[in-house]
Amino acid sequence: MSLEQREQAEREQASRMLPPTPYPEPAPGRMEVRRQHFLSEADRQGRSRSPRPALRLRGRLGLVLGTVVAAGATVVVLSIGSGSVDAPRNVPPASAASVQLLERAALAAATTPQTKVRAGQYSYVKTVGHTSVLSETKAGKMDLLREDEGMEQWTSVDGNERSLQRKGGNDNLLPGTPGRGNLNSPTYNFLAALPTDPDTLLKRIRDDAEENHGAGSDSTTGPDQEAFVTIGDLLRNGVTPPETSAALYRAAALIPGVDAIPDAVDAAGRHGVAVVRTHDGERTEWIFDKGTARFLGERTVLVEGNAWGKAGTVVTSVALVSSGIVDKAGQTP
């Protein structure tokens, strides 16, 4: 099958995944420009990279390395799989299907009415879901446990106040104040200040990923996967200026290895279409409403069986169920 035939098949697949929307279809030239951009980028990176072994660490939705002792059991929170920090040299550009789906999501986000935000207000987000941990029992066996990730959180839009988190019926002020915010802990004002040009935005995110997950680090996530995870975290933040959201979707379409699948279920039980990226035996999925292309949630699924479970096991799943801007911490939209 020729490249043109494959791209046509992928576009037809994308059309079947999402019904027609009130937003215009992305121009064919947009996808071709992005594809050519990453064909050259993948070639450049392939010439400059050299494989080396490294210790696996996690992205923010992945799992961290650490231990805690509770109820006589040692809980070991690990990443899923292991491997080299460097991506394979033959990782293809984002598929035409994923580019089309991300462009639809970008167009939907861009037409969302802009919320007027004032100093002193809070961004509110409510999520449901779970993460997984491996627990070593007294008998020396390993049990796979689920930890509840359902919560509500209020974050100062300008970072001048401490964040309030409500989890399991308990309210806690998170240590310190957000300050201006950063890619790992964004405030609304930080997100609003991000560049809205997709190439510039991806460079900003990827430079940060390269610094912490590139050559010379102990990470095996790799800059491309970490950039994908970072964008997913920012989208899951729930309260992002429309232009920034649109730019994040378009930046994701520039990452090699991004693809699409026709069906996925978020932590709230909602079916949608997903943009995905597979790395080191696990598939990170961003789930969108099939009718509106609205972001629903994110999950990580094993594509290869390991200590965490069989192929197909959902090891993390977090759904965004509500978000907005409120005047005070504790209020809901």
* Tens-place pLDDT, residues 23-38: 455 555 555 555 555 4
Strand stretches in 97-221, DSSP E: 122-136, 142-148, 151-156, 164-167, 170-173
Q: Specify the pTM.
A: 0.76
Contact 132, 308 (CB under 8 A): yes
* Best CA proximity match to 328, nearest among 154, 183, 165, 117: 154
What pLDDT shows up at residue 2? 60
What pLDDT shows up at residue 63? 30
Beta bridge partners of 282: 279, 302
Tell me the two tokens of residue 171: 């309210």
Beta bridge partners of 208: none
How far is residue 135 CA from its own chain's centroid? 26
* Best CA proximity match to 85, nearest among 216, 282, 219: 219
Q: Crossing angle of helices 242-252/223-236, nearest 10°?
A: 150
Mind listing the pLDDT tens digit for each residue in 111-165? Answer: 998 889 999 999 999 999 999 888 877 777 777 788 998 999 999 999 999 999 9
Mean pLDDT of 252-262: 97
What is the residue-averaged pLDDT of the chain?
A: 79
Comparing 13-17, 59-63, 115-119, 120-124, the range with the smallest average pLDDT is: 59-63
Mind listing the pLDDT tens digit for each residue in 278-323? Answer: 999 999 999 999 999 999 999 999 999 887 889 999 999 999 999 9
